[in-house]
Amino acid sequence: MRNLPIYEAWLNEIGDSSAKPFKWNTTMDVSKWLAQNSEGAKGKAHSGSHEDRYHKTDTPFEYKFTSDTTGTNYHIRIGGYFGKNFWFSLLGDKPKDWKPYHCILGIGFGVDFIENDDETNLNEQFRVMATVVQCALDFIQKVLDDKGEVRISEFHMNPKLDKEEQKGLDSRRGKLYLAYIKNSFKKIRTKSSYYIEQTNDGFVLKFGEVRQGGKIPDSVLAATYEQNNK
């Protein structure tokens, strides 16, 4: 039998995403951050170029945590674009949960004061990933629970690549992301349908339902709207 490298052997053991997250914190308020960025989108158009339609976040939403074993300081940053929603009167009355703005966001993490570092998670991959996922879920849940004017349209999670020619899922971090994302996404509390889709760069959480020929596309890794999820 082939001896698996230590990393691959460990990866086979984390199907339940049981690694203990580090203690994390943030000094920022999700509601205020959403309101500030939706304000930036007020002057944007409903059509035209990407720049015409979207406000880019100036300051990312940030979480911080410190490894209790190595003392390494990490940051998690969430940012992206805010745009306007449009409702046709011919469609009837607006749904009660309709919001005038939407956001397309992405999450990334790294070691403080280190730029373009290929091994930001050092030897703490599983606990770091557990922490990143927990912070992502905290942020997403707070947006969903917020009574303001913004809804999440897409939330992107793109791992760094081990090699330039790799796709997101092919990389070591991609496999780690996949293991955690598939087991953690269902913890989101909402009545809305949502799904996790694989892209060339990684993974994206989207709200709503998607089918091709009556079936969930192969690119969908997990979905809330069918019992037999992929």
The domain ranges of the chain are 6-186
The enclosing H or E element of 184 equals: helix 172-184
Mean pLDDT, rounded, for 13-25: 74
Token pair listed for 95: 């749904």
- Tell me: the pLDDT tens digits for 101-137? 999 999 999 898 765 445 555 558 888 888 999 999 9
pLDDT in tens, 154-175: 999 987 655 445 454 556 667 7
Q: What is the C-alpha to C-alpha distance for residues 79 and 28, in angstroms, rounded to an integer?
A: 13
Least confident window among 1-10, 64-73, 197-206: 1-10
For tokens 């049981």, name the residue. Answer: 18
Q: What is the average pLDDT across 205-221?
A: 91
Of the listed ranges 41-45, 119-123, 146-150, 193-197, the one predicted with least confidence: 119-123
> How many Cβ atoms sit within 10 Å of the Cβ of residue 196?
24
pLDDT > 70: percent of the chain? 78
Instruction: Give the per-residue pLDDT at 90.
Output: 64
What pLDDT is stored for residue 124 in this prediction?
81
| Nearest one of 20, 18, 112 to 65, comparing CA atoms | 112
Q: Which two tokens stand for residue 6?
A: 């230590």
- Inter-residue contact 120 to 10 (CB < 8 Å): no
Q: What is the pTM of this model?
A: 0.85
